[in-house]
Structure 1
């Protein structure tokens, strides 16, 4: 008998699907901050049950190259692309908005909304969450370059989502928010004048200033309710520098909690959800205290860099 050595080859992993990522995963009020830093952008967030994801985006009005003298490699960036990354120095040509986010999200939505010979009755297309297809994915785009230019670039890339009714939107003529499986919020250099100029359907929302809401007039609050699904602010903007510093060491006390709750309730009074950024990441026990207390006070999204830790808390 001749023994023939047959090396073992692992089967390549199948491409991720809505089912493989989110089946039997409990959805949690977690916002995947700087999501593009994950080992698997978007996919890690979905597999941990995050309902919200954020990416920083950049667009340039000309082509340019970047040469790394230590490796003698040159990267080319094109004006036809929108790039995702934390700062310009560390952008990568392959990390485009389509590649990291829009392409996989669109694929997941198409998979979740298959064409049946016997039509399935549904008012709104299904989302990317296998166990809860009625819950939308909240996707935030943090504008890092000039807002008006980026707004135009993003609008071009939303056409396929609009065509298939995959986007939540604001109907200006009806004065109503219309649900969809994907809800997009713009933050950073938001061109508010362009959002206001949309006279029929507006397929993106702005990130309203939570820290201004306690002093806002009823007229301003009504405007925010049209423009936004979420309002956010930093912990320092809401508590002040001194109280923010105190909270870094000992968690959130009763007085600080009462202050924060007023902001949450003010936003909720006009149907706007809330998020706080710039929170505490260390020490770990203080961070976990903040997450838990913020949720109990009524904050709708918990900003997290460590998704596994946040998923364990919730």
Structure 2
């Protein structure tokens, strides 16, 4: 009878734990057919925008060759977010507790980009400042970043994508929202079947280290398949890096 009760409890509790742990990161979100809006409608946890500095504007693009001066960070992300934030009165959605991170992957010199980014973000007031509004959109910097010992010196709305195996000072680590690394540093697995045992141990070690510091882990460049989503999610608190927003959200919602 005792074993039966334990099995029932595991059946009831485990799925809830898995759902709670699963976060979705819209990789290169600007390359979606409907940038921002699809991710927003599916309530992803994080959106990624690569930016280049062109004159005094931040342009969203994957490479310099793809730069289109019309695709500004403001037009694709900041302005639409601000509209929703105003519409729902200091929240971004009718779902009161929903918010997300906007990851800005800096492709240029940080020292040149940040003054422009600061000027643009601060135009929107509390929309991107979680110290002023509980459901503000959190700005997370990736790509070219300042040295980690300076993280704490930036305005309160600035957060950073962390790296594994770095001994951050406590005051700087408070600005680190998650730990990210290239999947290829751990495995060459293509996302079909099972991850090789040795590779899984490497992945698990990285996730455990981040989780012990109360941070999620994101493997960018990981295979974007259901087998991969399933096995990465089973490692612990991970952020699923995906180009397949609808498929991944549907997959985890049905788990």
> Which bracket does the TM-score occupy, shorter chain normalised?
0.7 to 0.9
Does residue 34 in structure 1 map to residue 11 in structure 2? no
Structure exhibiting the larger radius of gyration computed from Cα positions = 1
- Cα distance in 2 between the residues matched to 1:164 and 1:141: 18
1:86 CA drift (Å):
0.5
Asked if the contact 2:149/2:169 (under 8 Å) is kept, the reply is no
Q: How many residues align?
A: 233
Does residue 140 in structure 1 map to residue 78 in structure 2? no
Does residue 313 in structure 1 map to residue 243 in structure 2? no
Matching residue of 1:164: 126
- Matches for 1:172-187 after TM superposition, within 5 Å: 179-187=134-142
The match for 2:211 among 268, 271, 274 is: 268
Larger helix percent: 2
Q: Which runs of 4+ in 1 moved over 6 A?
A: none
1:271 CA drift (Å):
2.2
- Cα distance in 2 between the residues matched to 1:97 and 1:107: 14
The match for 1:296 among 234, 245, 252 is: 234
Matching residue of 1:14: none
- Cα distance in 2 between the residues matched to 1:223 and 1:250: 42
1:190 CA drift (Å):
0.9
| Distance change (3 Å), C-alpha of 1:252 and 1:130 | farther
- Cα distance in 2 between the residues matched to 1:224 and 1:81: 28
Matching residue of 1:153: 116
Asked if the contact 1:134/1:181 (under 8 Å) is kept, the reply is no
List gaps (5 residues or longer) in structure 1: 1-25, 61-78, 114-124, 172-177, 282-286
C-alpha RMSD of the superposition: 2.6
1:233 CA drift (Å):
0.4
1:223 CA drift (Å):
5.5
Task: Specify which structure has the bigger relative contact order, considering alpha-carbon pairs within 8 angstroms and separated by 6 or more residues.
Answer: 2
Does residue 129 in structure 1 map to residue 72 in structure 2? no
Does residue 207 in structure 1 map to residue 161 in structure 2? yes
Does residue 251 in structure 1 map to residue 194 in structure 2? yes
- Residues 2-58 of structure 1, C-alpha deviations (whole Å, 9 max, x = no match): xxxxxxxxxxxxxxxxxxxxxxxx996211111111111100111222121000000
Does residue 222 in structure 1 map to residue 174 in structure 2? no
| Distance change (3 Å), C-alpha of 1:134 and 1:48 | closer
- Cα distance in 2 between the residues matched to 1:293 and 1:197: 35
| Distance change (3 Å), C-alpha of 1:289 and 1:83 | same
- Matches for 1:91-130 after TM superposition, within 5 Å: 91-113=67-89, 125-126=90-91, 128-130=92-94
Matching residue of 1:4: none
- Residues 219-266 of structure 1, C-alpha deviations (whole Å, 9 max, x = no match): x363662230111001122x1xxxx22455543244433332222221
Asked if the contact 1:274/1:301 (under 8 Å) is kept, the reply is yes
1:94 CA drift (Å):
1.0
1:180 CA drift (Å):
4.1
1:153 CA drift (Å):
1.0
